[in-house]
Amino acid sequence: MTHGPGISGLILEEPLLWEKGKQGRTAFSMPDQDVPEATAKLPQELLGSGPEFPDLSEVDVVRHYTRLSGWNFGIDTGMYPLGSCTMKYNPKINEKMAATHGIVSSHPLLSDDLSQGSLQILFELQTFLAQITGMDAVSLQPAAGAQGEMAGMLIFAAYFRKKGEKRNKILIPDTAHGTNPASAALCGFKPVQIKSGDDGTLDVNLVSELMDEDTVGIMLTNPNTLGLFEESIREITAIVHAKGGLVYGDGANMNAVMGMVDFKRCGVDIMHLNLHKTFSTPHGGGGPGAGPICVVSELEDFLPIPRVVKHDESYQLKYDCLDSIGRLHAFFGNFAVLVRAYSYILSMGAQNLKKTSQLAVLNANYVKESLRDVLHLAYEKPCMHECVFSDLMQREYNISTLDMAKRLIDHGYHPPTIYFPLVVPGAIMIEPTETENKEDIDQFIAVFKDVVREAKDNGERLRQAPTRTKRRRLDETMAARKPCLIG
């Protein structure tokens, strides 16, 4: 029996915030009342009774969150091979840099000459991302990948509006992230699903059949969500362009191809990047991320405003862009996230970014080759940064992907992405990322093989898993049927 790092330990219970505390306590160091009290002047009808927050001492708050943190699992805790999410190590130095005094205190509405430091970071990061993708111009404003997609779709709409063309369909492969069709629909396009071919990639003939002059173009992810490179990308983009369409590239999987693939040469017109994936900014238990968009020069004028430009030696905000799709964020996007990505790129340099992609792909292929005897491999092709298996071989024992995933938790691993992409029933998508070393990957592989053995010999153990966590499997049906969203 192989063991992962997971063993049982002491877990401390902790109630909800408002189940503790006593009225009159505080954890806030109250500033002096150095001016006269004035609230009596406010008309009574505008005043409220104040929110019912619990009153807690500093120690109450510290213990509360420290205990909660112990029930969580992050990259710093252990291996997190969550496919399509690029859970790589988030360097500590980036956190420190984002907290630099003059940067953290910077107000977004000061004049350009008082904000040269912040504008320099934005301008240089734009330049770096253009270099890394091969694209011509960048906007850092979108706050997440999904908002980047939306920006891209708004640019599609604005582009055809300017050309005086009415087109309302968009091609989206069936392997796409759910955000792709949702973003397209938000911008008024009707998604037309393209079935992926038997080898997991797009069929050029199918694209050719579907692409017409009512269609704005295609939205694709490359490498795709099966971890496969769309080898016909040049033919596909040529077909779309020949019909007057545009190509949107979802850059969610950029970690596989830095310094290896040039997206402009692939024929991509707009793409977004997920800085919280490829560029190592922390996922924060759900956000904030950042989803900059990169475009070819023909589409630069459509980018969100304000743009950040450089004139002589000074950085400036530019607002007079008539074709712009407008503003997407109250200020400049998730600036502190952008600062972390900037810090990461400066720490890495060109050679290390390229090496990052090479090692990410090496780790994924190594896992693929090491587990293919015990798990069904969805596609017999070279994979990029992630590989997709399924539970096909375990179904005869009545064991599902979910059961294996939950058992991995007991061993101290965050499970891979499961049941996505939808085209692979019972999918298990593993993305080790480049920051995992060989012995940790070997241990993960050995544990996974044991879990597969257990599936055959001791299935009940998997169906009961996890048993070492604070809570066992949770009743999600009840949560949705009778929603209890506040306490």
Partner 1 sequence: MRYLPHTDQEIHEMLAVTGHGSLEGLFAHIPEECSYHGDIDIPAPLSEWALSEHFHDIGRNNYTSAAKSILLGAGNYSHYIPAIVPSLIGRSEFLTAYTPYQPEMSQGTLQGIFEYQTLTARLLGMEVANASMYDGASALAEALLMALRIARKKNTIAISSAIHPHYREVVFSYLQAGSFKIIELPVSLDGRTDLSGLDDIDDLAAVAIQSPNFFGVIEDLETGSNLIHSADALFVSCFSEAFAYGLLRSPGASGADIVCGEGQSFGMSQSFGGPGLGMFACRTKHQRNIPGRVVGETVDMDGKRGYVLTLSTREQHIRREKATSNICSNQGICALTAAAYMASLGATGVRRVAALNYDKSEYLKAGLIKAGAKPLFDSPTFNEFSLTFANNFEPVRRRLLEKGIIAGIELGRFYKKYKDAYLFCVTETASKAVLDTVIEEVSS
- Footprint (CB under 8 A) of partner 1, residues 64-103: 64-66, 68-77, 80, 82, 85, 87-91, 93, 95-103
CB–CB of 227/252 below 8 Å?
no
One of 2, 136, 186, 392 touching partner 1 (CB under 8 A): 186
Q: Closest approach of Cβ 172 to partner 1, in Å?
A: 9
| β-strand pairing of 246-251 with 215-221 | parallel
Query: Which one, 124 or 450, has the nearer CB to partner 1?
Result: 124
Structure tokens at 147: 């908002």
- Applying CB under 8 A, which of residues 169, 177, 272, 407 lies at the interface with partner 1? 177
Question: Edge to edge, what strands does the sheet with 417-418 contain?
Answer: 376-377, 387-390, 427-430, 417-418
- Indicate the residue among 91 and 251 with the shorter CB distance to partner 1: 91
In the complex, what is the shortest distance from the CB of residue 285 to partner 1, in angstroms, rounded to a whole number? Answer: 4
DSSP-derived 3-state class of residue 217: strand
Q: Does 278 bind partner 1 (CB under 8 A)?
A: no
Cβ-based nearer residue to partner 1, 165 or 456: 165
- Select from 38, 164, 311, 313 the one that contacts partner 1 (CB under 8 A): 38
Least Å distance between CB 390 and partner 1? 18
Of positions 195, 284, 425, 460, contacts partner 1 by CB under 8 A:
284
Of 175-183, 210-218, 393-401, 446-454, the window that binds partner 1 (rule: CB under 8 A) is 175-183
8 Å CB contact between 464 and 404: no
Residue 473 C-beta: closest distance to partner 1, Å: 5
Q: What does the longest C-alpha to C-alpha distance in the chain come to?
A: 77
**Cβ neighbour number for residue 261 with a 10 Å cutoff:** 19
Contact status: 425 vs partner 1 (CB under 8 A): no
Could you say whether residue 397 binds partner 1 (CB under 8 A)?
Answer: no
Residue 243 Cβ, how far from partner 1 at the closest point, in Å? 20
* Nearest CA-CA partner of 134 in 266, 244, 236: 266
- The letter for the amino acid at 348 is M
Told to check if 363 binds partner 1 by CB under 8 A, we report yes
Which of the 8 DSSP states describes residue 395? G
Site for partner 1 in 193-212 (CB under 8 A): none
Strands 387-390 and 376-377: antiparallel
> Residue 6 in 3-state DSSP?
coil
Rounded CA-CA distance 291/252 in Å is 9
**Segment 230 to 269, residues that bind partner 1, using CB under 8 A:** 231, 233-234, 257-262, 265-266
To the nearest 10°, the Cα dihedral for 163, 169, 174, 180?
Answer: 60
Is-cis flag, bond preceding 91, omega within 30?
A: no
- Up-side HSE of residue 210: CA atoms within 13 Å toward CB? 20
- What residue type is assigned to position 265 of the chain? R
- Structure-token pair, residue 33: 């009342």
**Closer CB to partner 1, residue 456 or residue 479?**
479
Q: At its nearest, how many Å lie between partner 1 and the CB of residue 203?
A: 16
Query: Between residues 164 and 487, which has the closer beta carbon with respect to partner 1?
Result: 487
Query: Which residues inside 111-140 make contact with partner 1, applying CB under 8 A?
Result: 114-118, 120-121, 128, 131-132, 134
Q: Which range of residues in 18-26, 213-221, 239-247, 391-399 is near partner 1 by CB under 8 A?
A: 18-26
Minimal distance, residue 334 CB to partner 1, in Å: 4
Contact between 352 and partner 1 (CB under 8 A)? Answer: yes
Binding mask 373-392 for partner 1 (x = CB under 8 A): --------xx----------
Is 460 among the residues that bind partner 1 (CB under 8 A)?
no
| Closest-CA residue to 135 (of 353, 302, 247, 295) | 295
Q: Quick one: tokens of 189?
A: 């396009």
Contact status, residue 341 vs residue 364, Cβ threshold 8 Å: no
- Spatial CA neighbour of 364 closest among 83, 144, 168: 83
Stretch 428-447 residues interacting with partner 1 (CB under 8 A):
434-438
Specify whether the CB–CB gap between 278 and 249 falls below 8 A.
no
Among 10, 35, 198, 396, binds partner 1 (CB under 8 A): 35
Query: Applying CB under 8 A, does 10 fall inside the site for partner 1?
Result: no
Instruction: Decide: is 164 part of the binding site for partner 1 (CB under 8 A).
Output: no
